[in-house]
Amino acid sequence: MPANALSQDDIHRYREDGAACLRSVIPMEWIERLRSAVDADMASPGPMRRINTPQGGEGLFFVDFQLWQRHEACRDFVFESPAAELAAQLMDSREVVYYHDHLLVKEPHTPERTPWHHDQPYYPVDGRQIVSFWLPLDPVPRESAVEFVRGSHRWGRWFRPQFFRQGGVDMQVEDTRLEAMPDIEAERSQHEFLSWDMEPGDLIAFHALTVHGAPGNRSSALRRRAWATRWCGEDARYAARAGQISPPLEGHGLRPGDALACEMFPRVLPR
Ligand SMILES: O=C(O)CCC(=O)C(=O)O
């Protein structure tokens, strides 16, 4: 059995439900290094940083991308932590390519929700082997945790991506597959939802088509720093998308149909 072996139940939950909380899979040394990197990033953000709190609003909903390119701890996490091996098992892929990362910080007293969405329509990537790891660096009680619509990655539907800034502005994308996101709040009784109380060291693995959203952080004391990393398997291919993508990663030189591995999207496994 490989080091960092997941249970069959965890793997089954991820594949069936589209989201699974993996307990105590990331050692605390990583969490401590990542906390320092995240705080350094917030003090000196990258070029794609976004503030999703309206000017003068309470709290702070801070978003940034590609920390692995600027912070050693994040880069080391990609290449040396247990994460890639977890991704390989969940996706049932020998190869793992690191696609990108996304920092989402909600400071205490931040009312802004993360709108309901799923991730793949934001990406110029086709394929079923795309897993995200939502890694909280602070304890996260369920009332400020991300919620997932159980099984929605198997609906066979693609929903129009929206920017997270409140008001939900649609991104400009031309794709006949895309439909408007249903009003998940109004449909609550029709779905089953998954969410968890989490401690540092736990992570949520979720499929790129699983519908999810998150409340604000109403806590008066607890920060909610979460670093989401995105990993692809053998079947992922670069895809042409007409219009906006997020994050807007360009300059990789890929053409539609290409396997992803390149300098911007490094192959992490096999090592
Ligand atoms: O942290 C959040 O509020 C949402 C996370 C999310 O949407 C994602 O990682 O795709």
What SS3 string covers 151-183?
A: CHHHCCCEECCECCCCCCCECCEECCCEECCCC
- How much is the pLDDT for 168? 67
User: Predicted confidence band at 163 (pLDDT cuts at 50, 70, 90)?
Assistant: confident
CA of 161 to the centre of ligand 1 (A): 13
Phi, psi of 31 (to 5 degrees): -60, -40
Domain with 119 in it: what CATH number? 2.60.120.620
Residue 52 has pLDDT above 90, yes or no: yes
* 15 Cα to the center of ligand 1, angstroms: 19
At residue 74, the pLDDT reads 98
Which pLDDT belongs to residue 2? 55
Asked, for residue 210, whether it belongs to a domain, the answer is yes
Pairwise CA distance, residues 41 & 38, whole Å: 5
The pLDDT-based confidence of 167 (bands split at 50, 70, 90) is: low
Q: What is the mean predicted confidence (pLDDT) over 7-21?
A: 98
Of ligand 1's atoms, which has the minimum distance to the CA of residue 114?
Answer: 3
What distance in Å separates the CA atoms of residue 28 and residue 157, rounded to the nearest whole number? 38
Atom of ligand 1 nearest to the CA of 226: 1
Segment 240-268 shows an average pLDDT of 94
In a domain, 262, yes or no: yes
- Report residues whose beta carbon is within 6 angstroms of any ligand 1 atom: 102, 104, 114, 119, 132, 134, 146, 212, 214, 226, 228
Of the listed ranges 33-37, 177-181, 258-262, the one predicted with least confidence: 177-181
In testing the pocket of ligand 1, which one of 102, 144, 207, 209 has its CB within 8 Å of the most ligand atoms?
102
How far apart (Å, rounded) are the C-alpha atoms in residues 49 and 64?
4
Give the number of other CB atoms < 10 A from CB of residue 234.
17
Q: How far is the CA of 217 from the centre of ligand 1 (A)?
A: 13
| Percent of the chain whose pLDDT exceeds 90 | 89
C-alpha–C-alpha distance, residues 19 and 126, integer Å: 19
Residue 188 has pLDDT above 80, yes or no: yes
Q: How confident is the model at residue 174 (pLDDT cuts 50, 70, 90)?
A: confident
- Quick check: is 2 in a domain? no
Which of 110, 120, 212 has the most ligand 1 atoms within 8 A of CB, as the residue to mutate? Answer: 212
Residue 80 is assigned to a structural domain of this protein: yes
Ligand 1, atom 8, lies closest to the CA of: 228
Gap between the Cα atoms of 102 and 124, Å rounded: 16
Which ligand 1 atom lies nearest to the CA of residue 164? Answer: 7
Using the predicted structure, report yes or no on whether residue 187 has a pLDDT greater than 90: yes
Task: Give the residues across from 229 on adjacent strands.
Answer: 101, 133
**142 domain residue, yes or no:** yes
Largest CA distance in the chain: 53
In 3-state terms, what secondary structure has residue 115?
strand
Supply the pLDDT for residue 3: 62
Cis ω on the peptide bond leading into residue 270 (within 30° of 0)? Answer: yes
Residue 250 structural domain: 8-269
The total domain count for the chain is 1
Q: What is the pLDDT of residue 173?
A: 85
Q: Whose CA is nearest to atom 9 of ligand 1?
A: 228
Tell me what the mean pLDDT of segment 120-139 comes to: 97
Q: How do residues 63-117 score in pLDDT, each as one tens digit?
A: 999 999 999 999 999 999 999 999 999 999 999 999 999 999 999 999 999 999 9
Residue 200 has pLDDT above 60, yes or no: yes
Tell me if 1 is assigned to some domain.
no
- Could you say which DSSP state residue 94 is in? S
Q: At what angle do helices 83-91 and 72-80 cross, to 10 degrees?
A: 40
233 backbone φψ class: left, alpha, beta (φ>0; ψ -120 to 50)? beta
CB count in 10 Å sphere of residue 28: 10
Q: What is the mean pLDDT of the chain?
A: 95
For range 179-201, the mean pLDDT: 97
User: Any idea what the Cα angle at residue 171 is, between residues 169 and 175, rounded to 5°?
Assistant: 135
With bands split at pLDDT 50, 70 and 90, how would you rate the model's confidence at 165?
Answer: confident
Task: Give the count of beta carbons closer than 10 Å to the beta carbon of residue 138.
Answer: 19
| pLDDT in the model for residue 6 | 97
